[in-house]
Homo-oligomer: A and B are copies of this chain.
Amino acid sequence: MSSRRIYLAGPEVFLPNATAVGEQKKALCRHYGFEGLFPLDSELTASSPEALAYQISEVNEQLIRNADLLIANLTPFRGPSADVGTVYELGFARGLGKPVYGYSHDDSLFLQRSWQLCGIGGEPGPAGDVRDSDGLKIEEFGLRDNLMIEGGLRQSGSDLLVQRADAASRYSDLRAFESLLQQLSRLSC
């Protein structure tokens, strides 16, 4: 039987050592009996930056179609939420009916991070009607990110795995990722 293929979604593609981190994630997948599909796997050439971007998007969508499941690194990225590219891929995989899993290296609440970026200082409030400096509502569900993200994971049968990592390894830490692989390999037995 061939190994189950896991699409490895996450902001690791933006790291200076993206390829090396991708190889580490793929090696861990192999160790637990899976095949990892990392977004940078394909060599691409294009006539313009825009054309290259569309090619990468097309290849990534195809990689997800070819995957059996998806694991997303949902650690907040450049703002209160996870990387939007990763979130798009999470939704895409869910729409395709593939099981999705996710982890985050930030244990703060979405409410706290949203307030920090867009609130009016002090502590978030009043409870039940927290709004940003423009008067727009901030979610108060006790979740780690937008409800569609954690809801999608829940609908798929899993929960966001939250495991704090040091600032220096915020995007490259692999312990939570490995925990998920361990759980999945046990489920496969």
CB distance from A135 to the nearest CB of B (A): 5
User: Is there a chain B Cβ closer than 8 Å to A99's Cβ?
Assistant: no
User: Is there a chain B Cβ closer than 8 Å to A90's Cβ?
Assistant: yes
Which residues on the B side are within 8 Å of A165 (C-beta)? none
Which residues on the B side are within 8 Å of A137 (C-beta)? 13-16, 18
Chain A interface residue number, banded:
35 or more
Name A118's closest neighbour in chain B (CB-CB). B78
Per-position contact with B for A116-141: 1 when CB-CB < 8 Å, else 0?
Answer: 01100000000000011001111111
CB distance from A11 to the nearest CB of B (A): 7
CB distance from A66 to the nearest CB of B (A): 13
A11-B136, A15-B136, A57-B154 known; A143-B88 Cβ under 8 A = no
